[in-house]
Structure 1
């Protein structure tokens, strides 16, 4: 039987982990998993209204997202956004020891701060759980030291400086996530190269199919689904490998196809736009001018 839990606040997190001590801060918590009584005795689906940085390493516990299972035995870091659903699976026979930590913070903590505006840049919160960050021992130590500083600040009495210091420590953790994910993209270059080739083949086949008018343009989600990655992770991977994100790749193939049609046929610009899947020709004109510096008519006249 599956159990679904939704945590509306940090206090619910404390209750789930059976923490008896007083909640130090209503909007943020640091939890050391080696010190808590966590027993997930059946499949449990968990979601919450908070952001979470979750590092775990212990035997007998996996996380499932859809059909993907992540084994925590070696340890990895997940960055989880509000309302993302995780399914915990526990093997009671092999459940022995646990190690790790979690940083939980509610969106209200960073509201009206500079960090709120930066959250959209931390695209790893949109990654799927199987795209977790696998860290070196040095990286784990850096994260642990940052988490310890944040935990230490939460032990202090709240004063006028508390929020700035707490938010700054969280921002530092997120910036390290950005750095280390960048390293992970580099160290997985051969694997990433295969993904780039897959994306290019999918796009090439789509535009050669002759069904563009019927099927429309492929979306970022379409491509991500076909290579079994999340849209955010795929875009970041392509950006690291090629300098262009997923939407840029789609637009590149679109504009190349538009050039071919403009030169090889006498179709009007409106007809070309519809052929390429645009509902409104003006959108096609704007994109073509943005990508080439010329309008479709200007390009045709030059060739």
Structure 2
């Protein structure tokens, strides 16, 4: 499969058959303006060096991200960071998109406050199956901001342009964060089931030989078992329980440690290594942070 690397907004627009950009670092693309030619666009892998926020629907085809193919429904918002890979696959009919996609180059925000904290918008690391489903009203809110961004970058660029564009991108992302909170809330019953599954995975892991053989379970391990991204699982748990995925893992490890401290006379270092810790001092520090006591103090107080 041919690999096409796209490093600029100009190159992106050229590849999809559009004209020169009005701004070198940002563009709003309407999918209805693009004619996908099967021989030109299919069976190619694209590595695109832009952030993107896309409202998509597809009829007559699928888009493949990584190893999985996905259908898009109306009102589904997906996010991508630079250097993510996407490619189109042949279907009975050539894929037809509708919707829009905002692309901005990392250089646009590199020296800004948004550039410093864009990682806080954790949904950029979500999978396509963890996309944001929007109501008509929510779509309208985002579209209005998109239009403001487009109008700003279409003007003659002056000393205010970059700040105003970035401010509106941040506003857009803040609304997306709000709408994701709404989605987590409305899916609360389903999310509770996921919390139960997550806790079951932790219990099974910690009570098996895996803890001693493989070390402390990671958030990624748990997320993989649930077919989720670590960011999505962490955000879901935070919304449902008030604790991060890592805090849940530490809780189960410390509970296991308490049992071992009181049920055996093993040295603290031996218990630490049996729990998957590479460092006994780190185990003691974590134990004290979670319980208020060192492992030795806890053992003495509960004998």
TM-score (norm 1): 0.94
What displacement does 1:172 show? 0.9
SS in structure 1 of the partner of residue 45 of structure 2:
strand
Residue 6 of structure 1 is matched in structure 2 by 5
Match of 2:17 in 1: 18
Give the Cα–Cα distance (whole angstroms) in 1 for the partners of residues 16 and 87 of structure 2.
16
In structure 2, stretches of 5+ residues that fail to align are: none
For residues 194-234 of structure 1, give each alpha carbon's deviation from its aligned partner in whole angstroms, at most 9, with x where no partner exists.
21111101111111114422221111111011000011111
Residue 49 of structure 1: CA displacement? Answer: 1.4
Distance 1:255 1:215, change over 3 A: same
Deviation, 1:70, is 1.9
Secondary structure in 2 aligned to 1:4? strand
The structural deviation recorded for 1:68 is 3.1
Residues 58 and 203 (structure 1 numbering): CA distance in 2 closer, same or farther, change over 3 Å?
closer
Aligned to 1:234: 233
Change (3 A) 1:54 1:60: same
Residues 114-133 of structure 1, C-alpha deviation per residue, up to 9 Å, x if partnerless? Answer: 10122110001111122111
Out of 2-11 and 190-199, give the one that drifted further.
2-11
Match of 2:159 in 1: 160
**Larger displacement relative to structure 2 (69-78 or 36-45):** 36-45
Q: Structure 1: where are the runs of 5+ without partners?
A: none
1:81 matched residue in structure 2: 81
Indicate the residue corresponding to 2:279 in structure 1: 280
- Residues 62 and 70 in structure 1, CA contact (< 8 A), matched pair in contact too: yes
Aligned 8 A contact 1:61 1:72 in 2: no
Q: Measure the CA separation in 1 of the matches of 2:203 and 2:29.
A: 48
State the distance in 1 between where 2:63 and 2:11 align.
Answer: 20
Residue 75 of structure 1 and its aligned partner are, at CA, apart by 3.7
Residue equivalent to 1:61: 61
After superposition, what is the alpha-carbon deviation per residue over 1:151-205, rounded to whole angstroms, capped at 9, x for unaligned? 1111100000000000011111111111111111111122211211111011111
CA contact (8 A) 1:65 1:86 kept: yes
2:28 — aligned with what?
30
Checking the alignment, whether the CA contact within 8 Å between 2:38 and 2:94 is kept in structure 1 is: no
Contact 1:65 1:130 in 2 (8 A): no
Structure 1 residue 81: Cα displacement: 0.6
Q: 1:45 offset after TM fit, Å? A: 2.3
State the shift of 1:67 in Å. 4.3
- CA separation of 1:188 and 1:68: change in aligned 2, threshold 3 A: farther
- After TM superposition, the score normalised by the length of structure 2 is 0.94
3-state secondary structure, aligned to 2:84: coil
Give CA-to-partner distance per residue, 1:96-151, whole Å, 9 cap, x none: x6421111111111112110122110001111122111111111111111111111
User: 2:143 is matched with which residue?
Assistant: 144
